[in-house]
């Protein structure tokens, strides 16, 4: 291992310092994972100088190559470098807590939106979701499917999901076909990094990741399936597995969590389609990671004896695989990134997730929200404000929800 070691060159800090630094980030970081990384760079590379440009770029590359929420994974590694394992836990918790609490509050408060105006607000949130997902598809297409072979792969993945097959099959297809993609010219080998995680710790994290992924085979679930109506709450293991499996399969950005969560909770009958999309729309109006949408869904599961407990369970379960896989890969990252076959496979997976998101955009996002010319107009306005005028998503949410509420009572 090279002696170029971020863990040695970066001055150590305190857990308290890390906690408050990321609490601030979790409270102000609007705009999704790419924007979060911009906030991080300004705060931790330029202002606080916790790491240099090359180290930060390496952490970002690692996070974007693995499943899970990239901005939260970068947050976790930065906390690890600054203050060890407790620092990593403090960083994740502080960054996640503000948005998780806001989503939990919405889960309890959105039932107050009754009557025409309230339903208009909910519908406005769904229309904003149409614009946000459309903008995400265009943005991700440029970076993850920039050429004809990867566009075709994305369309294959979209067809797989649209016609009823699982997202796991689409991801696996992307990984296999990705090996056939043209390989880019070899770049100059990057410098080696030591992130301060032992191989034993990495192997242990990998074993835990796989063991939890196999949980339903160890403890079979009895949750309701598509269209079912339950008389009893879903089991704790079933809920944990649904959200853990979702977190384990999210490649390419936070918005890809939408179709996976829709399959996990709506198809099982735990959360209805309208509540699901209104919660997703509300998630655009708050700072922090989009994965905290799980806190809303856990509390919205019906029936449940304890919405707060299910909210916490869903939140931990959806983040856990991404954090475990980062720990598992850190000691072996230098070797893995040199494998051209692995890199090609990952590029295939990234192209496939564009197709998965496209299928979700068609159904349920568009089909559940756009029912009239007026709906189409509001969705188009939202899209233009996002793409053309670069307005903050939270401002668009407030504006479109207000317009929809007024229109519903006139």
pLDDT single digits (tens) 289-331? 989 999 999 999 988 778 999 999 999 999 999 999 999 999 9
The whole domain housing 293 covers 97-409
> CA–CA distance from 402 to each of 93, 165, 290, 395 (Å)?
32, 37, 22, 11
Predicted local distance difference test score (pLDDT) of residue 352: 87
Residue 214: how many CA atoms within 13 Å on its side-chain side?
A: 7
Q: What whole-number percentage of the chain has pLDDT above 70?
A: 88
Question: Is residue 46 predicted with pLDDT exceeding 50?
Answer: yes
- Say what the pTM is: 0.77
State the Cα torsion 124-126-132-134 to the nearest 10°.
Answer: -120
Residue 115 lies in a domain: yes
Question: Is residue 212 predicted with pLDDT exceeding 70?
Answer: yes
Q: Considering its fold, how many domains does the chain have in total?
A: 1
Distance of alpha carbon 4 from the chain centroid: 31
Residue 14 lies in a domain: no
How confident is residue 37, by pLDDT bands cut at 50, 70 and 90?
A: confident
Residue 79 lies in a domain: no
Residue 151 lies in a domain: yes
Residue 390 lies in a domain: yes
Question: Is residue 11 predicted with pLDDT exceeding 70?
Answer: no
Distance of alpha carbon 113 from the chain centroid: 27
Distance of alpha carbon 186 from the chain centroid: 30
Residue 297 lies in a domain: yes
Residue 17 lies in a domain: no
Residue 238 lies in a domain: yes
Q: pLDDT for 55-80, tens place per residue?
A: 887 787 788 778 888 889 999 999 99
How confident is residue 122, by pLDDT bands cut at 50, 70 and 90?
A: confident
Q: pLDDT for 155-177, tens place per residue?
A: 999 999 889 777 778 888 998 99
pLDDT, the chain, mean: 84
């Amino acid at each position: 291992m090279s002696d170029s070691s971020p863990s040695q060159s970066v001055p150590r800090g305190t857990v308290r310092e890390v906690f408050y630094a990321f609490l601030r980030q979790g409270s102000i970081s609007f705009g999704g994972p790419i924007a979060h990384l911009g906030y991080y760079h300004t705060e931790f590379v330029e202002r606080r100088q916790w790491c240099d440009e090359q180290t930060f770029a390496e952490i970002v590359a690692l996070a974007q190559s693995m499943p899970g929420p990239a901005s939260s994974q970068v947050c976790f590694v930065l906390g690890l470098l600054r203050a060890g394992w407790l620092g990593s836990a403090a960083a994740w918790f502080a960054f996640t807590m503000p948005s998780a609490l806001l989503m939990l509050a919405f889960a309890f408060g959105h039932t107050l939106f009754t009557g025409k105006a309230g339903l208009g607000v909910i519908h406005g949130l769904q229309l904003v979701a149409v614009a946000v997902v459309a903008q995400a598809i265009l943005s991700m297409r440029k970076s993850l499917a920039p050429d004809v072979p990867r566009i075709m792969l994305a369309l294959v993945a979209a067809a797989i999901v649209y016609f009823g097959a699982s997202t796991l099959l689409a991801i696996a297809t992307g990984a296999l076909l990705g090996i056939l993609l043209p390989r880019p010219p070899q770049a100059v080998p990057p410098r080696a990094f030591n992130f301060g995680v032992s191989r034993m710790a990495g192997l242990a994290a990998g074993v835990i990741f796989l063991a939890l992924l196999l949980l339903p085979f160890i403890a079979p679930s009895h949750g309701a399936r598509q269209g079912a109506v339950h008389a009893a709450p879903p089991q704790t293991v079933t809920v944990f597995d649904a959200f853990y499996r979702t977190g384990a399969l999210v490649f390419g950005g936070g918005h890809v969590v939408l179709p996976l969560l829709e399959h996990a909770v709506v198809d099982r009958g735990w959360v209805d389609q309208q509540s699901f999309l209104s919660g997703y729309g509300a998630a655009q109006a708050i700072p922090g990671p989009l994965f905290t949408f799980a806190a809303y869904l856990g509390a919205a599961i019906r029936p449940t004896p304890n919405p707060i407990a299910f909210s916490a369970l869903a939140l931990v379960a959806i983040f856990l695989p991404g954090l475990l896989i980062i720990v598992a890969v850190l000691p072996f990252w230098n070797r893995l990134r040199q494998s051209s076959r692995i890199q090609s496979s990952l590029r295939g997976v990234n192209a496939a997730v564009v197709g998965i998101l496209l299928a979700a955009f068609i159904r349920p996002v568009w089909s559940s929200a756009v029912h009239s010319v007026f709906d189409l107009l509001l969705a188009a306005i939202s899209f233009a404000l996002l793409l053309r005028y670069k307005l903050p998503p939270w401002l668009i949410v407030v504006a479109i929800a207000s317009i929809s509420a007024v229109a519903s009572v006139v």
